[in-house]
Structure 1
Amino acid sequence: MQNKFYGIIPPVLTIFNDDGSIDWDGNKKLIDYLIKNGVNALFFEGSVGEFTQLSLDERRELAKFAVDYVDGRLPVIIGCGSCSTYEAIDMAKYAEKIGADAVAAVTPYYWPLNDRELYEHFANIALNIEIPIILYNIPMITGQNLSPSLILKLVKKFPNIIGIKDTIDSVAHMRNIITLVKQENPDFSVLTGFDDHVLNILALGGDGAITGCCNFAAPVLVDLYTNFKTAKYDEFIKYYHIVRNINSIFDLGESIIGVLKEACSQVVGVNNFVRPPILGCSKENAKKINKILKSINLL
């Protein structure tokens, strides 16, 4: 069966009210915007979804809401990341119970782990659920890097490990995953976490991207992917340059989540509150983001 995780998949922002409570209507509005603009799946409770700022009860509540509200319109991926293997398993089992299509499991963070420990962490998750698992590699945040050889070892042993979000600024790392793992399982999804690497991942034979900018620039990224898949390379390059301009919001010296939420607020019309300790965007940089968005016709 063909893997359903490919193309452009947003790591969906979690929308909050100004008092920090979850804004359910705002989350519905964002979900509807993303579905309307043709994304291929939805990933909730990832890094920019602020899962680290949610309690376990809130994570369960948000996961149930997401599955119910999407209601089969697109595949739903629920993040089960945790420093604790037990907690990750608990969240993964809950996601399976409520009908999620897959879970995404980020490498544990805080303690440095060796390959044996990383293997056991993901193996224990895989042994406890039957739904697909997408590995999530983001070493710049977690301090852990999943090597292509370790990924291959996991994929050989556990058929429900079906993909990876590789958020790493290394073309060689992505290339080696594609070369090693897709030879073992051609349906294994290799997805970049960086907009800058969409061209690289697709040209190397990967499957798409899970990028934060999709929360407010879904039409651009969907058209980017579509033009590549239909061999309209001149159009692809045009959209790739637009994505390059979009990424200039990350050069403003603000937190990634802060600028994403500000841009999303301006384009989609949702609240821009960010839970502490991360702070929202300054008013000065909000004006700069507005100028960038207008320059690429997103406003």
Structure 2
Amino acid sequence: MKCKILTPAITVFNEDGSIDYEGNRKVIDFLIDNGVDGIIPLGSSGEFPDISYEDRKEFLELYIKEVNKRVEIIAGTSSMNYDEVVELSNFAIECGANGVMIIPPYYFAISQDQAFRYYDRLANDISGDIYIYNYPARSGFDIEPQTLAKLAKKHKNIKGMKDSTTSIEHTKSCIYAVKEHRNDFEVYSGFDNHFVPNVMAGGSGCIAAISNILPELWAEWIKVTREGNLDEITRIQVEIDDLMQLYGIDSNFSLLYKKLMKERGLDIESTTLFPFDLIDDEKYEKALKIFKRHVR
């Protein structure tokens, strides 16, 4: 059974808020050495809205060079500025990214027709593969399966989608709608615990933030799923279900995940951008207790 785990990587910062390139190299090696299939820098887990365009451009260039084709890399290139999206996307692809992931314009309510026009134009202006980032809780927009299918049918370089929605039925509907036109279209769940029903419906796997802290558990889940080992698939599903509690401990889980990665011995700063740079001891102790149940 075909499936992949892609990690929406955290971004490591220095104490002054600048990007810590050495720390990010350690994260890259940690993820690759523990078996992930690909990495997505500058997604939501990477705190992209708080990083300037120029810093993102420099970061992606060095990130792609450091990965050095060891795994797939899809660059997060979202912005409220259309020209920035196009420029950063083409730059990332020129640097060697396998594709780019883009959330639709947020803040203003966008309609299905406007979303179609947005990605339709991006597909013409970007010289590589595009992955739609559907995240209704943050963008205020939820792409309909028919809109997705229309885009996929028209543009071969609209390659896939990350569906970060609480409704697995929505994800499955998107898979079914697109498969009528494209067998190569990739639909990933954005919620770790949706992985199994995603793959069972013909999806491509998961873009899962928990794989930042436990990449080896996720790599094992991918392996046993490819082998069709139902007992092991179920066992790991139970572990992931328990770990899903980590998402609800703080609204921005980046600080928490960095601190947990440090608990594993990864020598990185846990600095997270203001005002998400503090977590109280009670919340952290709760998270640590959950986390320790699953560290090998």
TM range (shorter): over 0.9
CA shift at 1:153, angstroms? 0.9
1:91 aligns to 2:88 (yes or no): yes
Q: Match for residue 40 of structure 1?
A: 37
Task: Give the aligned length.
Answer: 294
Cα deviations across residues 90-123 of structure 1 (Å, max 9, x unaligned)? 2112112222111011111111111221112112
Q: Which residue in 2 is equivalent to 1:258?
A: 255
Q: Any conservation in 1 of the 2:90–2:128 contact (CA below 8 Å)? A: no
Find the aligned partners of 2:224 and 2:12 in 1 and give their Cα distance: 31
Listed as ranges, the gaps of 5+ residues in structure 2 are none
Quickly say closer, same or farther: Cα 1:247–1:227, change in 2 above 3 A: same
SS in 2 for 1:68: helix
Shift of residue 257, structure 1, vs aligned partner: 2.1
Give the aligned partner of residue 288 of structure 2. 290
- 8 Å contact 2:101–2:130 — kept in the other structure? yes
User: Does structure 1 retain, via aligned residues, the 8 Å contact 2:90–2:127?
Assistant: no
Deviates more, 1:244-253 or 1:226-235: 244-253
> How far did 1:189 drift?
0.5
- Amino acid of the structure 2 residue aligned with 1:75: E
Q: Whole-Å Cα distance in 1 between the matches of residues 122 and 249 of structure 2? A: 38
Verify the 8 A CA contact 1:255 1:279 in the aligned structure 2. no
Residue equivalent to 1:54: 51
Q: Where do 4+ consecutive residues of structure 1 move more than 4 Å? A: none
- Equivalent positions of 1:218-257 (< 5 A) are 218-253=215-250, 255-257=252-254
RMSD: 1.6
Alpha-carbon spacing, 1:6–1:281, altered in 2? closer, same or farther (3 Å): farther
Deviation at 1:157, TM superposition (A): 1.1
Deviation at 1:249, TM superposition (A): 1.9
CA contact (8 A) 1:14 1:22 kept: yes
Corresponding position of 1:275: 273
Q: Deviations over 1:187-218 (max 9, x none)?
A: 11110000121121112111100011110111
In the alignment, the residues of structure 2 paired with residue 91 and residue 54 of structure 1 have an alpha-carbon distance, to the nearest angstrom, of: 13
1:197 is matched with which residue: 186, 194, 197?
194
Q: 1:148 aligns with which of 126, 145, 148?
A: 145
**TM-score, normalised via structure 1 length:** 0.94
SS in 2 for 1:87: helix
**Which of 190, 194, 209 is the matching residue for 1:212?**
209
Deviation, 1:264, is: 2.2
Residues 105-158 of structure 1, C-alpha deviations (whole Å, 9 max, x = no match): 111111111122111211222112221111110001110111111111111111
* Match in the other structure for 1:74: 71
Give TM-score scaled by structure 2 length.
0.95
Where 2:70 maps in the other structure, the secondary structure is coil
Using the TM superposition, give the Cα deviation of residue 251 of structure 1 relative to its aligned residue in structure 2, in angstroms. 3.5
Question: Which amino acid in 2 is paired with 1:172?
Answer: E
**C-alpha displacement at 1:262, in angstroms?**
2.2
* Distance in 2 (alpha carbons) for counterparts of 1:272 and 1:280: 10
